[in-house]
Amino acid sequence: MYFSRTVLSVLAFGGLSAFGSPAPIVEKRQEVADVSSVLAIIGTLRSSTESILPQIDTLANEGTATEESITPLLDQLVAALDTTTSSLGAFGGSIDTTTGGTEDDVAKEVSDVYSNIFTSLDNLQTKAPALSTLIPSLGLDLALQQVLLGLQILLAGVLRLVANLLRALGGLLSNLGLGLTGGLLGIL
């Protein structure tokens, strides 16, 4: 009987003291993304474009490109660019630029992807000129520009580097109706 009173007293006191003591403070350490995270996002964009652009090229090269066959592919391209913009925006404008790569690495990757996009669109415009109005009408220029702006927010010097790498394609952008992108890059 004394044992049960003692145990109950100890448990009651222990329970009350648990409520009376403050909870330990646990600091949540926010992990800051680095350049490799940006490169991974651009890598995902590259993968998406590598599945879309060959389809556009095949349709254009075979002479079977129609509005019905090209529009869904251009919509997929715009969606891939929009997803990239959203992913870049998720960083909240803050990444660690001292690790995971350099601005040059990002600029090279982006310029390769953009160059492939511009080349395929030029091929489409050359081989199916009647479809050239689709390119600016589906929001592709704005989607391309938004990715570049997202990159510029995260990596201040990357836009200049991309512009330098794409300078030779300036006239092509104008012909494709991608004046916003060319203007942002300063190559028109």
Q: Of 132 and 87, which is predicted with more confidence?
A: 87
Half-sphere exposure of 175 (CA within 13 A, CB side): 13
Distance CA 142, CA 128 (A): 23
Q: Domain boundaries in the chain?
A: 35-92+100-185
Distance CA 185, CA 147 (A): 12
Half-sphere exposure of 107 (CA within 13 A, CB side): 18
Per-residue pLDDT tens for 43-92? 999 999 999 999 999 999 999 999 999 999 999 999 999 999 999 999 88
Residue 68: which H helix or E strand, with range? Answer: helix 67-89
Confidence (pLDDT) at 67? 96
- Joined tokens for residue 156: 């201040």
Distance CA 91, CA 32 (A): 8
- Joined tokens for residue 7: 């145990």
Global pTM?
Answer: 0.79
